[in-house]
């Protein structure tokens, strides 16, 4: 009988100790905000283009965490959707075409002799990648431009072009061998066919 009593007391003491430790930890090492939002935001392409219907990547990350579908980001494309699906442990789905198609990375280019210096594009740029002042010619900092398209619409003289970034010898890369090259056929069976 006594032994049962001691056991209960011991367990009670242990429970109290662990409770105190856990309580302390929950206060001392409290995580500010929702870390999942940051992880999702990390995967988004940060073009801040708003094609998903949210005013930037962070708001969309927040929306995803609170249940929005993960296939609304055309600049990120399928690879971003796959990464998000992997992170959130959901099924990857094809890109929602309603929000735009996946395009190659673009960069804005201002035809400078047509620019009238209205600063409208400056205000539209979400990453401050356009340089200029009122009545002064504007120009795009190519390396900072995310290709979000947001500056094209406000331009009153339509002097902004979106140019696809060209592959140079520096950015060129080998491609994976095509899948049908490995058809599984025996080599001798392939003779006579166009290789």
Task: Provide the binding-site residues for other proteins, judged by CB under 8 A.
Answer: 41, 44-48, 56-57, 79, 114, 116, 126-129, 144, 146, 156-159, 167-177, 181-187, 190, 195
Of 26 and 114, CB closest to other proteins: 114
Of 25 and 133, CB closest to other proteins: 133
Of 67 and 192, CB closest to other proteins: 192
CB of 175 to other proteins, least distance (A): 5
Could you tell me the two tokens for 144?
């900072």
> Alpha helix (H) ranges present in the chain?
2-28, 35-43, 57-65, 77-88, 120-124
CB of 182 to other proteins, least distance (A): 5
Integer CA distances (angstroms), 111 to 105, 117, 172, 178, in order: 19, 12, 27, 40
Of 56 and 74, CB closest to other proteins: 56
CB of 54 to other proteins, least distance (A): 13
Cα 70 → chain centroid: 10
Helix, strand, coil tally for the chain in percent (to 5): 35, 5, 55
Of 27 and 194, CB closest to other proteins: 194
DSSP state of 192: T
CB of 71 to other proteins, least distance (A): 18
Beta bridge partners of 149: none
CB of 33 to other proteins, least distance (A): 14
């Amino acid at each position: 009988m006594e032994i049962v009593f001691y056991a209960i007391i011991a367990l009670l003491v242990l429970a109290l100790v662990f409770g105190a430790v856990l309580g302390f930890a929950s206060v001392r090492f409290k995580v500010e905000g929702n870390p999942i939002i940051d992880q999702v935001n990390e995967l988004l392409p940060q073009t801040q283009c708003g094609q998903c219907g949210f005013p930037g990547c962070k708001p969309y990350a927040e929306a995803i965490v609170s249940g929005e579908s993960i296939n609304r980001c055309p600049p990120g494309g399928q690879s971003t959707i796959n990464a998000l699906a992997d992170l959130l442990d959901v099924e990857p789905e094809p890109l929602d075409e309603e929000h735009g198609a996946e395009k190659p990375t673009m960069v804005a280019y201002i035809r400078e002799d047509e620019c009238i210096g209205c600063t409208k594009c400056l205000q539209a740029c979400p990453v401050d990648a356009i340089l200029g002042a009122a009545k002064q010619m504007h120009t795009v900092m190519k390396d900072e431009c995310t290709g979000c398209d947001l500056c094209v619409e406000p331009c009153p003289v339509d002097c902004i072009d979106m140019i696809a970034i060209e592959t140079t010898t520096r950015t060129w890369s080998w491609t994976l061998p095509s899948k049908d090259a490995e058809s599984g056929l025996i080599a001798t069976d392939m003779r006579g066919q166009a290789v």
